[in-house]
A and B are shown apart, each in its own frame.
Chain A
Amino acid sequence: MPHLTPLNIILNGDSFDLDEPVTIASLLAKLDIDARRVAVEHNMVVLKRASFDSTTVREGDRVEIVNFVGGG
């Protein structure tokens, strides 16, 4: 069994625990979020959807996941 290294990130402004480093794509899947409906910022850089699979979240990273809501 691979050794797990738990880590803590800041997700949408709140502390969030992960068992191991994950890609943005697997983080979204884990949170049950449809990747086609959101935009993601990783350490202040807005990601292209195509890079969700290749971007890994590590200890202390800041992740923002946003979507559209009603507004004027």
Chain B
Amino acid sequence: MSLDSLVIAGKTFSSRLIVGTGKYSSHAVMVKAHEASGAEMITVAVRRVNISDRTKESMLDYIDTSKYFLLPNTAGCYSAEDAIRTARLGREAGLSNWVKLEVIGDERTLFPDNEELLKATRVLVKEGFVVLPYTSDDQVVCRKLEDAGAAAVMPLGAPIGSGLGIQNVNNIRIIREFSRVPLIVDAGVGTASDAALAMELGADGVLMNTAIAGAQDPVAMAEAMKLAVKAGRLAYLAGRIPRKLYASASSPIEGLVGRSLTPSP
């Protein structure tokens, strides 16, 4: 069975894994990890250029933009206004009108401020952006984002960078059932089984950064994530068996050695 593609806002991606560019020990490791991940879409952050120190290399020197689709984020923004400014800057710095929209509401948990997120989504959609909002695992918020014109919904599995895995499986399942736009599980993945679980629940994709960049061997973890996302997608499409409390034998009862099927006289 061949894997189906991920389509967001009319653009087709053969990989359902979206990876970040933060926290890598070196550009070289990042490049290898991206390669191993098989991802086609990668996230980047928008930050002020260091005016006094121009020696730092540009990250774009290490990203082949003919091969990877750049998704600028608005990470670190705490208001709709800042997120909108950052999205507009990202559009000019980059090559597309796509944005991973983040409006953070709390410093410690990095949970989204969904009220500001909705505000920013409405404005940016009106300006022609393809908005992919990072949000809570809340079906009502996801529906409102969808109604506001978001091209996908990206609920968290767990807090950003926590590696806790998907904390509320049922919420993701419910969002899957209701969502008419692609569902990307964004944040919280710790290891391959978390990514596989997200896909088995019916997510259309998974977005991660720390799980790969922070692994002891990021390149190996990137490959693990690629396989997990594929395995999870296949399992979802294959349709799992229902859960049962008791056993159901896999081998036939008939023809067992030493067992008599006819009652003894």
With A12-B51, A32-B54 in contact, is A68–B45 under 8 Å at CB? Answer: yes
B residues within 8 Å of A by Cβ? 20-24, 30, 43-49, 51, 54, 58-60, 70, 72-73, 75, 85, 88-94, 160-161, 187, 207-210
- Count of CB-CB pairs between chains A and B under 8 Å: 107
Say yes or no: A72 contacts B22, CB within 8 Å. Answer: yes
Q: Could you say which residues of chain B place their CB within 8 Å of the CB of A12?
A: 48-49, 51
Extra contacts, 11 of them, besides A72-B43, A72-B73 (Cβ < 8 A), are: A13-B48, A33-B49, A49-B92, A65-B48, A66-B93, A68-B72, A68-B94, A69-B22, A71-B20, A71-B44, A72-B208
CB-CB contacts below 8 Å: A35-67 with B: 37-41, 44, 46-49, 64-67
Complex contacts, A49 vs chain B, CB 8 Å:
92
Please state if B85 and A69 are interface contacts (CB–CB under 8 Å): no
Instruction: Establish whether residues A72 and B20, one from each chain, have CB atoms under 8 Å apart when the complex forms.
Output: yes
Contact string against B for A residues 11-33, beta-carbon threshold 8 Å, 1 for contact and 0 otherwise = 11110100000000000000111
Q: Residues of A at under 8 Å CB distance from B? A: 11-14, 16, 31-34, 37-41, 44, 46-49, 64-72
User: In the complex, which residues of chain A have a beta carbon less than 8 angstroms from the beta carbon of B187?
Assistant: 72
Most buried by B among A14, A46, A68: A68
Q: Which residues of A contact B92 (CB under 8 A)?
A: 39-40, 46-49
In the complex, which residues of chain B have a beta carbon less than 8 angstroms from the beta carbon of A39? 46, 89-93
Q: Complex Cα distance A69/B187, Å?
A: 19
Shortest Cβ distance from residue A49 to the other chain B in the assembled complex, whole angstroms: 7
Q: Are A69 and B89 in contact (CB under 8 A)?
A: no
A-B contact pairs, 14 of them (CB 8 A): A12-B48, A16-B51, A31-B51, A40-B92, A41-B89, A47-B92, A65-B51, A68-B59, A68-B94, A69-B22, A69-B44, A70-B30, A72-B207, A72-B209
Q: Is the CB of B21 within 8 A of A70?
A: yes
CB nearest to A37 among chain B residues: B58
